[in-house]
Structure 1
Amino acid sequence: MTTSDAGLLADRTPLPSDLDSRLRDHLTFLIEVDKLKTVLRQSPLAAADRRENDAEHSWHLALMVMTLAEYADEPIDVGHTIKLVVVHDLVEIYAGDTPLYDAEAGVSQQEREEAAAGRLFGLLPEDAGRAMRALFDEFEASETPEARFAKAMDRLQPLLLNWMAKGGTWRTPGVTANDVRARKAVIGEASAPLWDAARRLIDEGERRGWSVSAPPGT
């Protein structure tokens, strides 16, 4: 789901005209990102019979960083990593969610998200917008230990939900267990023990028939 064609939420109930202009920009941004709660992902919730939204996903990632930081292969700044996971999906307010196994949607993902980042972070005061955009860019570049761990959490979280759903998006037509392994391998770039655990879940899911095994020789 995307809200790219909608106006600013703050315009529906304008803020008082005598507010400090910098504070107004901050509040306008914070009101706008409430739209994240309306962006549905493909992953099913473990606790209810519905799909999760992006805000729920971001919260879960932040908690995972706090909980699993000890398994990072390199020391990480937990607070900074939490910033990365909280910010990285905000662009989906305008760009929409791109399912992991949707190759066609993935072609335009970077272009859509780059445009969305400029639009969304442009609502903030210039210095604050630059700082927020830097977090988004750091996550995407995956060149720091924090960004690599943040990306690992982003791949591990839906894996856990799919495990609880006895397959979930692993059952997407045309997707094999090997495809799941390939798309989740980024976990191993940040944490050997978490990647070992993830592979065990994928392997067991395949054994139980929750994902399709690739034909022999492929």
Structure 2
Amino acid sequence: MDDDALLSDRSPFPPELDDRLRAQLTFVAEADRLKTILRASPLAAADRRENDAEHSWHLALMVLLLAEHADEPIDVGHAMRLVVIHDLVEIYAGDSPVFDPAAVVGQQEREEAAADRLFTLLPQDQAVGIRALWDEFEAGRTPEARFCKAMDRLQPMLLNWLNHGGTWQMPGATESTVRAREAGVVAASTTLGGATNALVEHGLRRGWIRPDPV
């Protein structure tokens, strides 16, 4: 299939649909690609890697359940919208594993280009609104965005813990790079930051995280 073709081009929607609904359904159809974008993180419940759609759902669940641990009051509904939207750009930009230095080169530029391509499939008012949510998450300047970024760091740490290392075993992962991810949790939640510190400390003791070279 042509790289510029949309999934909905394979089976065009009936002509009687109005333009707004057609645009919305085209976007929804294209979002199905998120299920094919594999992350580095292994699942805890199956012997395979997590995909982006599963990751986004897991983050939404974490926001719903763990919001009480946010250091700042947050609007849970707004935060859930942020995490559902934040990785959609990886449909076109792909995942960039944090412990792979080569993968993160040019990440921001790829994701900006993907956002420009993807969100403009929507009717203009919704395109503006969804792009604003993505920009808010990326900037991390609101309480909701800070907490969502914390969940985005905590979730793979939990999977790594449950897998006795997971992506902590990647060549670029050492105590300092793992703790850099932990800092994103600490920034939004004292309670959850303490929990991630415990995971890292015990991970080091068990050999699941490599110490930094001396």
Identity percentage of aligned residues? 65
CA distance in 1, matches of 2:4, 2:50: 22
- The answer to whether the 8 A contact 1:91-1:117 is kept is yes
Alignment of 1:61 onto 2:29: no
The alpha carbon displacement at 1:142 in A equals 0.2
CA distance in 1, matches of 2:207, 2:196: 17
Work out which of the residue numbers 21, 25, 28 in structure 2 matches 1:27: 25
Give ranges in structure 2 of 5+ residues lacking alignment.
none
Q: What one-letter code is carried by the residue in structure 1 that aligns with 2:195?
A: A
Name the counterpart of 1:126.
124
1:52 is paired with a residue whose SS is: strand
Deviations 1:152-202 (A, max 9, x none): 000000000000000000011142122100122111111011011001001
CA distance in 2, matches of 1:14, 1:4: 15
CA distance in 1, matches of 2:172, 2:179: 14
The alpha carbon displacement at 1:92 in A equals 0.1
In structure 2, the CA distance between the partners of 1:73 and 1:53, relative to structure 1 (3 Å rule), is same
The number of residues matched between the two structures is 214
Matches within 5 A, 1:70-81: 70-81=68-79
Work out which of the residue numbers 185, 193, 196 in structure 2 matches 1:195: 193
CA distance in 2, matches of 1:118, 1:214: 39
CA distance in 1, matches of 2:34, 2:90: 7
TM-score (norm 1): 0.96
TM-score (norm 2): 0.97
- The answer to whether the 8 A contact 1:139-1:151 is kept is yes
CA distance in 2, matches of 1:215, 1:100: 19
Work out which of the residue numbers 18, 24, 35 in structure 1 matches 2:16: 18
CA distance in 1, matches of 2:61, 2:124: 29
